[in-house]
Chain A
Amino acid sequence: MDWNALELSIRLALWTCALLLPLGLCIARVLAWRSFRAKGFVEALIALPLVLPPTVLGYYLLVAFGSTSVLGQAYQSLFGSSLVFTFEGLLLASVIFNLPFAVQPLQRAFEAVPLHVREAAWVSGLSFWRTFWRVELPLAWMGVVSALALVFAHTLGEFGVVLMVGGSIPGETKTVAIAIYDRVQAFDDVAAGVMSAFLLAFSFIAIGLVYMLAGHRSQPHV
């Protein structure tokens, strides 16, 4: 078992969740309750990582993060380090390829909050911020749990994008999924098996949690 890789994967997953939750909440709220001309386009863009081959997404991110790109150069001059083959670059890539896993459950959850209930909060004198904390978020919390579970599990398991953007630098970008591939290449079947079993169990628990909550949500709730 490559504990180093596991620790890195969990650190990456936690950071991804921490960054994606506020971002996902903002995007999901807008998509759930506003209608604007480019809405379909934005939704499609966010869903792209679901259908794109990870290597394709990884390739474009690699190009976008590279030292010849505007983003890469801006990051280099701001922080003095490269986005490619670093943990920070990997984290940014992770946030991007996890967008649909965060936004879609949150958007569904916000869409299920009736407009009248939010209006009732405003008419009752609740500020928009208080309405968010006391009414919207409690009613959408199952979407939040789903989003976090999906993002966490998906980050642990992502392979293609990580390999393209991060390479396989131990302690910096070598995640547990890459470590498994490494071990198989080195004919270390025992280590590969243990790590695979761990990822399998973890993913199953995460998905099980989501389905359990989804089942709970479908009960009458007036």
Chain B
Amino acid sequence: MSDPADSALSIALLQDAPIPLDAGLAVAPGELVAMVGPSGSGKTTILRAIAGLHRPRAGRIVCNGVVWFDSALGVHLVPQRRRVGLVFQDYALFPHLSSRDNVALALGHLPPARRQARAGELLELVHLGGLEERRPASLSGGQRQRVALARALAREPEVLLLDEPFSAVDQVTRRKLQRELAVLRRQVRVPIVLVTHDLAEATALADRISVLHRGRTLQEDPPDAVTNRPVSPLVARLMDQPNLFHGRIADRRDDGRGVLAWSGHSLEVARIGPFRQGDTVAWMIPASHIVLHRRDRPSRGERENPISGIVDELVAFGPTTSVTLHVDGRDSLPLVFSVATHAVRRNGINRGATVVVSLLADGIHLMTPEEPS
């Protein structure tokens, strides 16, 4: 978590109803933080609290040195007094107004004569030039999303809040809008909070990911750290890590490396962390750190934690194929990894085939096991 003192936006919220919250977030100017978590984890509630649409029981929200909300001081600014740009999940455009008027209505801080022209500029910025006079009903989903974004930017917000902004459009439009957001970020130097349940989207767009579960912030780190080094098995599961197992520390060496005993295998581990010999640990390995051995010639890492298994499932996602392996032929130990689709063909990998993979020592990540609930 970055230091709240340097951040443009810092929040700490605590409540037990209607949705329990114990959440913190600090976002620097120009930084994009993605809040991820399952439905009902409080993502949208936190966004609404920042915008002033929800008043939490307790906590504090400070933006650029101005206290927007402080339960102890009894401060709760109305939405009109917080300069926030909010893109709603359903866009919430004004249905009776043209695109231009939708944006112009949010330009109350400008003299009336300037509003129409500025609205036109903002629509140009989101690539909607020529559609200024259209009403929302005659725009496509992607175009509506752009109007909503232009309207959110109209107030020259101090914070930009995006509530699942790409969930209502088709895949192709979504990719395009995501790329545009990545470009737009460089033009508007404000903190951006993106709520999403699309982990790939969060990983691709965010500087940091904040993982929420039942209103609690579990981890707030760069995407790489949240994906590859989750703080707990729960975070690993929320980040959709399939390869999550239990094991025991068999050896711990002074250089920080060690050996993990797992289901009859001894796995070399690059970082043992705080664990001691004999400790039971939860461990995971990202799919990106599992290397398939080639049949014809040995490759790098052949000796590194070789594990053999029977291919149970092959699902091709275009250029990559997801492979599920039953380690030692046991379906209780599924190991999921991806390989290039052409490699699957070249190596003749079929369902039922026996293959050998290496679990790279560098990718094995150890965690404290969860208390049985």
Contacts and interface: CB of A to CB of B under 8 A. Distances in A.
Contacts of B151: 120, 124
Nearest to B88: A116
A116 B105 contact: no
B93 A123 contact: no
Contacts of A116: 88, 90, 92
B68 to A, nearest CB: 13
A119 B52 CA distance: 10
Interface of A: 114, 116-117, 119-127, 130, 134-135, 138-139, 220-222
B137 A221 contact: yes
B94 interface: yes
Nearest to B53: A119
B96 A138 contact: yes
Instruction: Give the interface SS of chain A, mostly helix, strand, loop or mixed.
Output: helix
User: Which of B52, B84, B95, B136 has its CB near the most chain A CB atoms (within 10 A)?
Assistant: B95
A139 B155 contact: no
Interface residues of B, number: 26
B300 interface: no
B63 interface: no
Interface centre among A125, A127, A134 (most CB of B within 10 A): A125
B21 interface: no
18 contacts: A116-B90, A117-B95, A119-B53, A120-B94, A121-B94, A123-B51, A123-B79, A123-B86, A124-B105, A124-B154, A125-B80, A125-B83, A125-B155, A126-B80, A127-B80, A221-B95, A221-B137, A222-B95
Contacts of A121: 94, 105
A57 B155 CA distance: 53
Given A116-B92, A117-B94, A126 B105 contact: yes
Given A120-B86, A126-B80, A138-B96, A220 B105 contact: no
Contacts of B109: 125
A135 B80 contact: no
Contacts of A222: 95, 136-137
Contacts of B155: 124-125
